[in-house]
């Protein structure tokens, strides 16, 4: 299942680089997003090395089907807007 990274989790003066908000294709309600909690998420870096950073779905975010994912390492700014794979 594919999804798109929307933004980091944070406030006006504080950002969590390991927590990201992700919008899943085809998920439009909080109930469907809650069903994804606990699944594994993988982001593959562009370039020659193709390093992969994994994370885990922590909870739903809002009522429109977005989810909060906690990654093992912080993702770079170039990851915003790119796709991830949910297994």
Residue 71 belongs to a domain with what CATH number? 2.40.10.190
Distance CA 78, CA 39 (A): 23
- Token digits of residue 74: 């912080």
Q: What is the mean pLDDT of residues 18-37?
A: 96
For the chain, the 3-state helix, strand and coil shares in percent, each to the nearest 5, are: 10, 50, 40
Q: What is the mean pLDDT of residues 14-33?
A: 95
Q: Read off the pLDDT band of 40 (50, 70, 90).
A: very high
Structural domain including 22 reads 2-86
What's the number of domains the chain is made of? 1
Q: Is the pTM of this model over 0.85?
A: yes
Q: What is the mean pLDDT of residues 18-46?
A: 96
Q: Read off the pLDDT band of 79 (50, 70, 90).
A: very high
Beta bridge partners of 19: 70
Q: How many residues would you count in the chain?
A: 87
């Amino acid at each position: 299942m594919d999804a798109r990274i929307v933004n980091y989790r944070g406030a006006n003066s504080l950002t969590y680089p390991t927590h990201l908000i992700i919008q899943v294709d085809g998920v439009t309600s909080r109930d469907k997003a809650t069903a994804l909690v606990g699944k594994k998420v993988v982001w593959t870096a562009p370039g020659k090395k193709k390093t992969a950073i994994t994370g885990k779905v922590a909870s739903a975010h809002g009522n429109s089907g977005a989810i909060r994912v906690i990654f093992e390492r912080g993702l770079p700014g170039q990851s915003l807007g790119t796709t991830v794979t949910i297994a």
